[in-house]
Structure 1
Amino acid sequence: MKKIFYSLLLFFFVSTLQAQKVYFPPAGEWQTKTSKEFDLDFSEAIQFAEENEYSESRDLRQAILKGFQSEPYHQLLGPVKRRGGPAGLILKNGYIVAQWGAVDRVDMTFSVTKSFLSTTALIALQQEKIKNVNDSVARYIWDGTFEGSHNSKITWKHLLQQNSDWSGELWGSYDWADRPPRDQNIDQWRSRALHEPGSYFKYNDVRVNVLAYSLLNIFREPLPKVLKNNIMDPIGASSSWRWFGYENSWTAIDGLQMQSVSGGGHSGGGMFISTTDMARFGLLFMNNGNWNGQQLLHPDLIEEAGMPSEANSNYGYMWWLNAAGDRHMEAIDSEIFYAAGFGGNFIVVDQKRKMVIVTRWLEPSKFEEFLNLVYKDL
């Protein structure tokens, strides 16, 4: 009897270890398991995602111009692609346990791009191209971008947390013209008082593009190449993804013309990528930067990227956090973090439950309700 008991104990121990082991899909492959194998059911969540498609036009030129019509001088400067319909993947322990829509279709992903951009900053820190995230950027970029009593105080951390309040113009776009207050006029926007760097959060694509430009200068090679060599190729991503800048965002480095990429699709450009490649990226972060035994990003950097800033408890290094704050989702674990983009593009990372959730073209106001359905049995 005792022998049988210990055999059963060993069986359950081994089964538990196998259930917890993370699977890493080789390039061009991905094993699936049914959600029932993990005692889960995502059918209601999938149906909800399919029935709550982003309400604006699939012609993203129209959707973008309508979405940002209140901004002075706004125009499309980078490529735009007509989008597909709702699509998504749910991973458990690395396995695909649910999917819907055309998951291999390449689409724009808008501000989800920011999480890819901040990842290149983590690579720069890991390679010591940036010595310290609290260094002033002016120590590295001396071409006038960070001149003046205000801009010279800005650190890499301020840019990553979107609380730099950088002031200026880049690629023909002005910081004050990006999502300006609607109760003020253009003269008030131009003459606004500046906030001390680190003290005030403002979602601002011009300043995100300043970060991209600054990183381009310290790597001295295009950021898509940095991301490809250090992250996307090692995790087995396809060759279909592209990361664009603007038609005018070119600069000369070491005698070569290089394009500075954008951190989103606000004015076109940004990351064009499939749902499956987004899921691979999420899986890397779910597993603390380790891909099948290869440590691509140090765990301390992953942890640092998910720390809330003083100016916004729901924002880290261009990842949204479900900590207490204005964007807290009450029924969802406070430890998850996620990338979010215009039109309802999301990558949700749940390290505790070893899950990654990617959803495309979900009506943004329905995101929390969708997650509640995903997590209702967890």
Structure 2
Amino acid sequence: MTQYFPASSTSWDRIDPRDAGFDADGLKAASDFAVANESQMDRDVRKALDNDLFGEPEGLRDVIGITRPREDPHGLIVRGGKIVHEWGDTQRPDITFSIAKSYLSLCAGLALDEGLIPSFDRPVAELVDDGGFDSDQNREITWAQLLQQTSEWEGTLWSKPDWIDHNRDLDASAGEGTMKGKARDMQAPGTFWEYNDVRVNRLALALLRVWKRPLPEVLKEKIMAPIGASSDWEWHGYENSWVEIDGKRIQSVSGGSHWGGGMFISSRDQALTGLMMARGGTWSGKRLVSKAYIEAATTPCPINDDYGYLWWLNGAGGSAPSAPRSSYFAKGKGSNVIWIDPELDLVAVVRWIERDAFDGFCGKVMEAFREA
């Protein structure tokens, strides 16, 4: 059977929930649940950051990238490539926080596919000579370790020291833990997992050094244009993250919006990306990213069963117990989530739901599926 691929984010076929294996009332209950559990984060994102959204040490929480206010919760559910259910303004390019990390992962996969990076298991220092990988702590760090957040990279980048995210507790109810931002003893690369935005930004800069062109340009050419994404999405760095490469001034993007900047993108454009991943990196008969990259990116890292190459996994049920174990996710503060399940040919995008409510949303979607 021929797979359906939408022509663009604005030209997208719909399917009756019953024909997609869902109960329509059940899907409405899921979206109603998402709206009722709207994120408590201030809609004025700049105010949220200024009010210490991430629990930063005093003097290091300054916002150095652009922000924009967010709007109402919104999202959509796609099965078989077609929209089954949609709520809110899914064409508005909202800030998306750490979902940008998964787009960084795609840029790394593309670099691997094109031979710019020979292997993710090689030290970054073999290709990147900008001083960031010269120290004893950093010189053996591999691309895989940066992608898996096990690098233990040490240093300061764009005025933010790596220890600003030491002891970060993603399960903390607020501020991400009272120990966050308190320097700890460094471990050997590959032996300690830590969600660290400074290190992700170091990966972004390393990828820029390898590509020698802006990562948004790479992403647009290789992924977003071929899948029919809109022209509304933007990917920003910081006011101080400009570097010169081959005589050209280029901004290094951020892997989130921790200090502003990051990816501003619509739910529909994210759903297109999710569908491309669910279809194994292909789009309308054309391969955009290798199957080998997707398999590696969705394989658990050696010391965290819930994490691959900047994608959250669910093989052990740690990301969303109510979702199938075949699911994986791009996640960002707020919460913003792209839910991908290749086995079900299912993609869902949920914007501005309370973090602890997302699993409840997944449960309601699966109830609607089972009850169809």
TM-score (norm 1): 0.91
RMSD value, Cα: 1.5
In proportion to residue count, which structure has more helix?
A: 1
Match of 2:350 in 1: 359
Deviation at 1:306?
Answer: 0.2
Match of 2:281 among 289, 294, 300: 289
Q: In the TM superposition, what whole-angstrom CA distance separates every residue of 1:270-291 from its partner, at most 9, and x where no partner exists? A: 1000011000000000000000
Q: In the TM superposition, what whole-angstrom CA distance separates every residue of 1:66-89 from its partner, at most 9, and x where no partner exists? A: 312433411111000100111001
Letter of the 2:17 counterpart: S
Match of 1:135 in 2: 122
**Count of residue pairs the alignment pairs up:** 355
Structure 2: distance between partners of 1:71 and 1:35:
48
Q: In the TM superposition, what whole-angstrom CA distance separates every residue of 1:289-314 from its partner, at most 9, and x where no partner exists? A: 00010000111111110000012110
Match of 1:64 among 49, 66, 89: 49
Structure 1: distance between partners of 2:319 and 2:167:
24
Match of 1:74 among 40, 61, 66: 61
Q: In the TM superposition, what whole-angstrom CA distance separates every residue of 1:219-278 from its partner, at most 9, and x where no partner exists? A: 000000000000000000000000000000000000011000000000001100001100
SS at 1:117 equivalent = helix
Question: Which of 1 and 2 has greater Rg?
Answer: 1
SS at 1:152 equivalent = coil
1:208 aligns with 2:191: no
Structure 1: distance between partners of 2:347 and 2:265:
17
1:54 aligns with 2:46: no
Alignment of 1:308-319 (within 5 A): 308-319=300-311
Match of 1:198 in 2: 190
Q: In the TM superposition, what whole-angstrom CA distance separates every residue of 1:92-121 from its partner, at most 9, and x where no partner exists? A: 000000000000011000000000011000
Q: Percent identity?
A: 42
1:227 aligns with 2:249: no
Letter of the 2:21 counterpart: D
Runs of 5+ unmatched residues, structure 2: 169-176
Q: In the TM superposition, what whole-angstrom CA distance separates every residue of 1:293-341 from its partner, at most 9, and x where no partner exists? A: 000011111111000001211000000001226x253332111100000
Match of 2:172 in 1: none
SS at 1:50 equivalent = helix
1:178 aligns with 2:170: no
Structure 1 residues 54 and 288: CA distance shift in structure 2, 3 A: same
Structure 2: distance between partners of 1:50 and 1:185:
30
Q: In the TM superposition, what whole-angstrom CA distance separates every residue of 1:53-73 from its partner, at most 9, and x where no partner exists? A: 101211011222331243341
Match of 1:24 in 2: 5
Deviation at 1:23?
Answer: 1.3
Letter of the 2:335 counterpart: G
Letter of the 1:103 counterpart: T
Letter of the 2:92 counterpart: R
Structure 1 residues 29 and 148: CA distance shift in structure 2, 3 A: same
1:372 aligns with 2:357: no
Deviation at 1:184?
Answer: 5.5
Deviates more, 1:172-181 or 1:53-62: 172-181
Structure 1 residues 226 and 163: CA distance shift in structure 2, 3 A: same
Structure 1: distance between partners of 2:180 and 2:123:
32
1:255 aligns with 2:247: yes
Match of 1:299 in 2: 291
Deviation at 1:179?
Answer: 5.1
